[in-house]
């Protein structure tokens, strides 16, 4: 049994992460290589990644940015390991790399997809403009394995996950998704449909890459728009909806015929909501309402356009 560590990256400093993880090469049984996927980074950053190359460490380069799905697929094609350990570039190990890698080993064989989880620093970020991402992450994303295992596919993320190479070779990430958002949801949907279980364990990494409030809101918009497009594209909407809380709520709201009302509220009060959310004390209840009403708006837009990209899933 061998493990390949795969780190997709675009213009992010990963020296500390790679230097920490390379201590496992030759010391931790089965840990065989580290692959860095440079997804269209600047020449300066590419040089930094290539300076990390050495025994067991390689850089896979894409001259242009091909997207989160495509760079992960390319890394998987290059990987030699029986298992693929995906770690996002903005992750940080809390203890030793050897301890982190070793925690995966006892669970291999119990499931072909194992998620380690996501952590956030206990202390608030010094920059108040990054409070929203930190507060949301602490409340919604930092959960124990016992909680995540209650809805294992709904809690899936590629931030910190170990996947059987054979499983990934059959499913892969859908490269038609060019826009940011919900690539993980689609892959989890594919796992669910294929009858492949997801096991969650407590082996979290700290999410260091906190965007500013405005940057996070921009990513949320892209993600919500992508989710609406995906909802129209999947064949089993019931299963897909079970993986995303917004979709579960949306289907209930549809039954009460109030989705158009929420879309109207979003159009009228969007700026006021964003001003309140983009603050040093953003209310998460308002952020949730903002996302829900935005989704209702995109649903109406996409219904009227009738030009959703068609691909069978």
Contacts of 15-19 with CB under 8 Å at 24 or more apart are 15/48, 15/52, 16/92, 17/87, 17/89, 17/91, 17/92, 17/93, 18/52, 18/57, 19/52
Q: What pLDDT does 29 receive? A: 87
Q: Start-end ranges of CATH 3.90.550.10 in the chain?
A: 3-210
CATH pick for 3-210 out of 3.90.550.10, 3.40.720.10, 3.40.640.10, 1.20.140.10: 3.90.550.10
Distance CA 58, CA 39 (A): 14
| Tens-level pLDDT at each residue, the chain (313 residues) | 899 999 999 999 999 999 999 999 988 889 999 999 999 999 999 999 999 999 999 999 999 998 888 999 999 999 999 999 999 999 999 999 999 999 999 999 899 999 999 999 999 999 999 999 999 999 999 999 999 999 999 999 999 999 999 999 999 888 877 667 788 999 999 999 999 999 999 999 999 999 999 999 999 999 999 999 899 989 999 999 999 999 999 999 999 999 999 999 999 999 999 999 999 999 999 999 999 999 999 999 887 765 544 434 3
Average per-residue pLDDT for the chain: 93
Tens of pLDDT, residues 252-271 = 999 999 999 999 999 999 99
Characterize the bridge pairing of strands 205-207 and 91-92.
antiparallel
Distance CA 118, CA 207 (A): 7
Tens of pLDDT, residues 141-184 = 999 999 999 999 999 999 999 999 999 999 988 887 766 778 89
* Planar angle of CA 261, 267, 271, nearest 5 degrees: 130
């Amino acid at each position: 049994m061998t493990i390949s560590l795969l780190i997709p990256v675009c213009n992010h400093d990963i020296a500390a992460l790679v230097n920490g993880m390379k201590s496992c090469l030759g010391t931790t049984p089965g840990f065989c290589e580290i692959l860095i996927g440079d997804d269209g980074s600047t020449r300066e950053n590419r040089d930094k990644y290539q300076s990390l190359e050495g025994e067991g460490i390689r850089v896979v380069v894409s001259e242009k940015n091909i997207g989160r799905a495509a760079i992960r697929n390319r890394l998987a094609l290059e990987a030699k390991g029986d298992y693929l350990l995906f770690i996002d570039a903005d992750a940080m190990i809390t203890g030793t790399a050897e301890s982190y890698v070793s925690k995966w080993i006892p669970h291999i064989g119990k499931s072909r997809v194992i998620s380690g989880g996501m952590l956030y620093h206990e202390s608030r970020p010094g920059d108040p403009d990054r409070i929203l991402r930190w507060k949301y992450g602490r409340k919604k994303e930092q959960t124990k394995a016992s909680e995540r295992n209650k809805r294992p596919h709904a809690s899936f993320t590629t931030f910190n996950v170990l996947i059987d190479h054979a499983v990934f070779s059959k499913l892969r990430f859908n490269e038609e998704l060019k826009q940011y958002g919900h690539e993980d949801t689609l892959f989890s949907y594919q796992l669910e449909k294929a009858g492949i279980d997801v096991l969650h364990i407590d082996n979290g990494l700290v999410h260091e890459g906190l965007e500013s409030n405005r940057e996070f809101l921009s990513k949320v918009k892209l993600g919500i728009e992508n989710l609406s497009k995906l909802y129209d594209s999947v064949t089993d909407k019931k299963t897909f909806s079970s993986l995303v809380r917004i979709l579960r709520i949306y289907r209930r709201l549809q039954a009460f015929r109030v989705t158009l009302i929420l879309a109207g509220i979003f159009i009228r009060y969007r700026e006021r909501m964003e001003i309140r959310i983009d603050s040093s004390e953003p209310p998460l209840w308002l952020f949730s309402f903002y996302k829900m009403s935005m989704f209702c708006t995109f649903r109406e837009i996409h219904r009227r356009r009738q030009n959703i990209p068609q691909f069978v899933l």
